[in-house]
C-alpha cells in the first residue's frame, strides 16, 4: 500500500486518506474517509484524538489493513 496523501480534520473528526494498492500500480488511487470511531476501533494501538496530529504513514497503513479485513476497498479513481 502506498499512501499518497492524508490529513485529519479536527472539526469533523475525520481522517482523509488517498492511497493506492499494489494491484493499482501507477494507474489508480483510492480515497477513504474514516470518522474517529472507526479509527479507534481499527487502530493497531490505543489512540486518542489528541494523538491524531502525530500519526504517520506506517500507522495509516496498519489502520487501513485492519479496516479492510472486514470491509471492501473503495472504488478506484484514475490518476
Mean pLDDT by 10 residues, the chain (79 residues): 95 96 88 97 93 95 96 91
C-alpha cell at 72: 471492501
pLDDT computed for residue 32 by the predictor: 97
Go through 32-69 and write b for each residue having 16 or more CB atoms within 10 A of its CB, e for each that does not.
bebebebbeebbeeebeeeebeebeeebbbebbeebee
pLDDT computed for residue 60 by the predictor: 97
DSSP state at residue 71: S
pLDDT computed for residue 79 by the predictor: 79
Nearest-5° angle of CA 4, CA 33, CA 8? 70
Amino acid at each position: 500500500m502506498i499512501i499518497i496523501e492524508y490529513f485529519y480534520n479536527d472539526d469533523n473528526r475525520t481522517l482523509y486518506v488517498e492511497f493506492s494498492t499494489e494491484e493499482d500500480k501507477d494507474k489508480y488511487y483510492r480515497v477513504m474517509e474514516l470518522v474517529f470511531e472507526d479509527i479507534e476501533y481499527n487502530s493497531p494501538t490505543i489512540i486518542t484524538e489528541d494523538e491524531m496530529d502525530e500519526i504517520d504513514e506506517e500507522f495509516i497503513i496498519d489502520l487501513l489493513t485492519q479496516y479492510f479485513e472486514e470491509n471492501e476497498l473503495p472504488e478506484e479513481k484514475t490518476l
